[in-house]
Amino acid sequence: MATLYHLNCVRIETPIQANVCGHCLLINEAGRLILIDTGIGLLDTQDPEGRIGKDLINMVGYQLDESITAIKQIVKLGLDPAMVTDCIITHLDNDHTGGLADFPLATVHIGAEEMANYESGNLRYLKMPLAHLPKIKTYNTNDTEWFGLQARKIAIGTETEIFLVPLFGHTLGHCGIALRVSDRWLFYIGDAYYLRIELTDNEHPVNQLAQMRADDNEIRLESLEKIRKLKATHPEIDLYGYHDIDEFDYFEKQ
C-alpha cells in the first residue's frame, strides 16, 4: 500500500498573493519513493544567483529556504533520499524542476511536447535543473482516456496508477498528473491554473499573470475549461494545483 505526503517545496511572495506555495507530492510504495514535481532544489538555495539568477529571483519573488526543499523534507520524514527512483514532471519551469539535481539517479518522466519545447530554445526555461543529465523518459502517445480526457499511462511497476493528462497552454507541453491510490483519485493540474479562483472569477488579477506567463493563452483557456467540466461532472476527484496555498493547507490537514 502506498503512503502519500503533500510537500510544499516553494515559497514565493507576490503583490497578488503573499504566500505562494509549490505543492509537490511524494509517494512511498514498496521501498521506493516517487516525486510528483520537485520544487526548488537544495543546490538552488545554496547558489541561487548561479543556478536561478538574481533577476528571476526578484521578478518571481522567491523566498529561498533549504528546509523546505524536497530532499530535506524527505530526510525529516525519516526516509532515505536515495529511495527516489522516479520524478514525474508537469513541465520544465525551474520552480517545478530545481530539485531534480538532488536526486541524480532518478528517472525523469515528462511529456514529449514539453521536452521538445525545452529543447527549442524557449527562453522561459533554465538549463541548470537538467545539467546533471538525468535519464529522461518522454511520452508522446495518448494511449487511454481518463474520465473523458486524453491520457498517457506511466508504467513504472507500482500499484499506484499514474497518468499524464495533456493540459497544454501554460507551456506547449504542460500536463496534469492523475493518480489513484486506494481507490481514491487525485488530479494535480500543475500550473493549468495558479489559483483555484481562476475557475470561477475571470476578473481576478491572477488571470492577467496566468495569461502573461502562458506560451499559448488560447490553448491555456481551453485546458482551464476542461478542468471546470471535470470538476463539475466528477466532484469525487480531489483536484488541486501547484501554487494555491489554501489547497495545500486543505490536503496537509487530512
Quick one: pLDDT at residue 27?
A: 97
The three three-digit cell numbers of residue 23, written as one number: 505543492
For residue 18, what is the domain's CATH number?
Answer: 3.60.15.10
Average model confidence (pLDDT) across the chain: 97
How confident is the model at residue 100, as a pLDDT? Answer: 98
pLDDT band at 253 (very low <50, low <70, confident <90, very high): confident
pLDDT digits (tens, 9 = 90+) for 147-166: 999 999 999 999 999 999 99
Q: Is the pLDDT of residue 252 over 90?
A: no
**Number of domain units in the chain:** 1
Cβ–Cβ under 8 Å, residues 9 and 69: yes
Q: Does the pLDDT of residue 123 top 90, yes or no?
A: yes
Its domain, for residue 8, covers 3-252
pLDDT in tens, 185-224: 999 999 999 999 999 999 999 999 999 999 999 999 999 9
Cell reading at 14 = 507576490
Judge whether residue 239 has pLDDT over 90: yes
